[in-house]
Amino acid sequence: MSKYYNIDDLRLLAKKRVPRAVFDYADGAAEDESTKENNGNAFKKWKFIPDVLIDVSEVETQTKVLGTEMPYPFALGPTAISYLFHHSGEPAVARAASKKNFPSTLSSIASTNIEDYAKSSNGSVWFQMYVWKNREISYDFIKRCKESNYKAIMLTVDVPVGGKRERDLRSGMTVPPKLTIASIIDAAFHPSWWWNFIFGPKIGFANVKERFTGKKQKLNNIMTYMNQQFDPSVTWDEAKEIANMWGGPFAIKGLMTPEDAEKAIEIGASAIVISNHGGRQLDSAAAPIDVLPEIAKQVNGRAEILIDGGIRRGSDIVKAVALGADACLIGRPWVYGLAAKGEKGVETVIDVLASEVKRTLQLLGCKSIKDVKRRHVRLNKSFIENSD
Ligand SMILES: Cc1cc2nc3c(=O)[nH]c(=O)nc-3n(C[C@H](O)[C@H](O)[C@H](O)COP(=O)(O)O)c2cc1C
């Protein structure tokens, strides 16, 4: 049995394994990081109300979202440049997820390209899309995803501009990381990471490299890259065109209101992802779990609902389901696993969360994930009283 009992155990190991600037790029968030902190705390306000004396010797946990079967109601969400965290990069993530029959999502700004990621997976893969000012790059993604049999596309809409991530500004973090006096000193503490960085695969934005207006990619701070490349003028009309171009299961990722959920349904999205980008964009944003009930009420079964941000326990996933989500995405947890122990670390993250979901269902008196209802969770009254 693994000695990593929870996600935080892997986070702590990740912190030891990679250079500080790399860890901070994953662990950090925008400005005061209050959105990120609140994402996690918000789950703790919801308390379970269990049923008893129900035969829970067998429990059904599987579900289906975005046309994809999955053994538990969670999938690996998109995060950028996995080669930063471990020399096995995105292919290891695709292998780990598919070995356990979980879908995983490749980011537009991954360090492995669409084609290679699909080849590394033995299961279902999804693609996360940003809209570049140079539309050829983005629209070409759709064609490439079709050719490589991706099951779904999710369009991320909460990055009109890059969030102000102060840990990255302080560390001077670039992609690929540059060698400075500080990084040379750091090498003494993380020799194997630096060895793999220098002699392993070159790290860059693999999906756009060869299409990058003919110029060689420069060392870039991620925020600068987003601000230079992504188009802040994209609207619902274009989201609709993108959904139509794709024609398959399609999600809008990064919405937070019932009104925007309604618009997503109008443009033909089959799913929404309630998300504040793990607190990396708008600081002081509400927590996804707190806006989930009102959005679920509005959606009323007309689209699938996914949610991410702050999920660190299987019980968080069960709470999200009780409040109306069909499934969850996890972000940092699998990045910590990757940084800590490569492919095995991602597998451990999946195993830890899956076993926690199952145990929570049993302790809640639910024979199936479908039996989890709104009445199984209650907002802690003392929190509401204290928050006035
Ligand atoms: C290192 C890192 C990189 C990310 N890159 C992307 C990305 O390229 N595209 C995207 O839509 N979301 C990206 N996200 C946001 C995640 O998909 C997800 O919304 C967020 O991590 C969920 O919060 P959690 O980390 O608390 O689980 C990134 C998150 C992290 C931590």
Neighbouring C-alpha atoms within 13 Å toward the C-beta of 284: 1
φ, ψ dihedrals at 28, nearest 5°: -75, 175
Number of H helices, E strands in the chain: 16, 12
Q: Are 43 and 371 in contact (CB under 8 A)?
A: no
Does the Cβ of 253 fall within 6 Å of ligand 1?
yes
- Ligand 1: which atom is nearest the Cα of residue 156? 11
Handedness of CA 265, 110, 103, 338 (dihedral sign): negative
Q: Are 76 and 329 in contact (CB under 8 A)?
A: yes
Does the Cβ of 39 fall within 6 Å of ligand 1?
yes
Q: Residues 6 or more apart from 275 whose CB is under 8 A from it?
A: 158, 253, 254, 255, 256, 288, 307, 308, 309, 329
> Rounded to whole angstroms, how far apart are CA atoms 32 and 300?
35
Query: Residue 216: what pLDDT?
Result: 62
- The pLDDT mean for the chain works out to 94
- Residue closest to 71 by CA, chosen among 96, 99, 100: 100
Q: Tell me the pLDDT tens digit for each residue of 104-146.
A: 999 999 999 999 999 999 999 999 999 999 999 999 999 999 9
Query: Residue 178: what pLDDT?
Result: 80
Does the Cβ of 309 fall within 6 Å of ligand 1?
yes
Q: How far is CA 289 from CA 69, 84, 344, 361, in A?
A: 23, 30, 29, 19
Query: Residue 309: what pLDDT?
Result: 98
Query: Residue 382: what pLDDT?
Result: 57
Model confidence band, residue 2 (pLDDT cutoffs 50, 70, 90): confident
Query: Residue 387: what pLDDT?
Result: 46
Query: Residue 388: what pLDDT?
Result: 44
Query: Residue 386: what pLDDT?
Result: 47
pTM, full prediction? 0.96
Query: Which residue among 332, 335, 353 is best mutated to probe the pocket of ligand 1, counting the most ligand atoms within 8 A of its Cβ?
Result: 332
| pLDDT over 90 at 357, yes or no | yes
- Ligand 1: which atom is nearest the Cα of residue 253? 11
| pLDDT over 80 at 89, yes or no | yes
Model confidence band, residue 93 (pLDDT cutoffs 50, 70, 90): very high
The conformation of residue 257, written as its DSSP 8-state character, comes to S
Structure tokens at 163: 């969030």
* Range in 218-222, 228-232, 292-296, 349-353 with the lowest mean pLDDT: 218-222
Q: Which domains does the chain have, with CATH numbers?
A: 7-386 (3.20.20.70)
Q: Tell me the pLDDT tens digit for each residue of 46-78.
A: 999 999 999 999 999 999 999 999 999 999 999
Q: Residues 6 or more apart from 32 whose CB is under 8 A from it?
A: 283, 284
Query: Which residue among 36, 90, 126, 280 is best mutated to probe the pocket of ligand 1, counting the most ligand atoms within 8 A of its Cβ?
Result: 280
> Rounded to whole angstroms, how far apart are CA atoms 224 and 217?
13
190 is catalytic: no
* Range in 40-54, 163-177, 359-373 with the lowest mean pLDDT: 163-177
Q: Residues 6 or more apart from 141 whose CB is under 8 A from it?
A: 108, 114, 127, 129, 153, 207
